[in-house]
């Protein structure tokens, strides 16, 4: 699960590295990719210098934190391709990926943007990309995915879902289900039957979500 990820590092340094990664994972997940490096260091219980030394740029940190999530992303593609019913695999993929975005606001942002500098991330994105093309091709062949669907639409889906997640993750965290349900109905050909549409979030929960979105979020300790 966690084999020596950074060789040639002293034991305590490696321990600090892990603490930083854990802290960053936590903060990115709840507050997005824009948390200050100082916050991460504080949360990790290390000095800011230590953080800077280990991860000179924010992108380095993002790269390290989300490497395993990107593995899960690639795995979701593989799993979808393994499904005997490509359309079912497609639905499942969309659902799983959006669930990942909902569970981790930082990852939602990672999926919706690209970091040319983060080689590990981009390599996996490319890997997933080719699998997705194949998945789309097969799903279209079943006649249940619209013929004019393109791989760009998946990116659009991720961006849209990132928007919903960013706005609702605290006060109405299930809202994304509803978006995905609507979009899948848009992606499917007319006769196709689909999983039931999730319930809409309550009006008050959604209102609270709209409130939260305004506040820059409060950093407690």
Contacts of residue 25, defined as CB under 8 A and 6 or more positions apart, other chains included, come to 65
Q: Which of 22, 57, 68, 185 binds DNA (CB under 7 A)?
A: 57
**Alpha carbons 54 and 64: distance in angstroms, whole number:** 11
Spatial contact of 72 and 129, defined as CB atoms under 8 Å apart: no
Nearest to 112 by CA among 150, 158, 152, 153: 158
Nearest distance from C-beta of residue 17 to DNA, angstroms? 7
| Phi and psi torsions of 145, nearest 5° | -95, 130
> Under the criterion CB under 7 A, does residue 95 sit at the interface with DNA?
no
Among positions 144-173, residues that touch DNA (CB under 7 A) are none
**Which span (14-22, 46-54, 91-99, 211-219) binds its own copies, by CB under 8 A?**
211-219
Q: 31 is written with which tokens? A: 């507050």
Among positions 5-34, residues that touch DNA (CB under 7 A) are 8-13, 16
Name the residue nearer to DNA (CB basis): 52 or 202.
52
**Which span (38-46, 64-72, 131-139, 207-215) binds DNA, by CB under 7 A?**
38-46
Name the residue nearer to DNA (CB basis): 39 or 78.
39
């Amino acid at each position: 699960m966690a084999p020596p990820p950074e060789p040639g590092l002293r034991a305590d340094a490696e321990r600090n590295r892990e603490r930083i990664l854990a802290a960053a994972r936590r903060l990115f997940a709840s507050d997005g990719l824009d948390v200050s490096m100082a916050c991460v260091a504080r949360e990790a219980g290390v000095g800011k210098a230590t953080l800077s030394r280990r991860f000179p740029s924010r992108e380095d940190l993002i790269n390290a934190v989300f490497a395993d999530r990107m593995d899960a992303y690639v795995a979701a593609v593989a799993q979808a391709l393994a499904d005997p019913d490509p359309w079912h695999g497609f639905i499942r993929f969309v659902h799983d990926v959006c669930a990942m975005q909902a569970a981790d606001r930082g990852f939602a942002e990672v999926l919706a943007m690209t970091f040319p500098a983060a080689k590990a991330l981009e390599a996996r994105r490319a890997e997933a990309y080719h699998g997705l093309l194949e998945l789309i091709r097969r799903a279209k062949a079943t006649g249940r995915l619209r013929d004019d669907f393109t791989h760009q639409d998946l990116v659009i889906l991720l961006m849209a879902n990132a928007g919903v997640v960013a706005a609702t993750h605290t006060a109405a965290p299930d809202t994304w289900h509803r978006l995905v349900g609507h979009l899948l109905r848009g992606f499917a050909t007319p006769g196709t039957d689909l999983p039931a549409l999730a319930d809409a979030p309550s009006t008050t929960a959604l209102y609270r979500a709209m409130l939260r979105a305004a506040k820059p979020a409060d950093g407690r300790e």
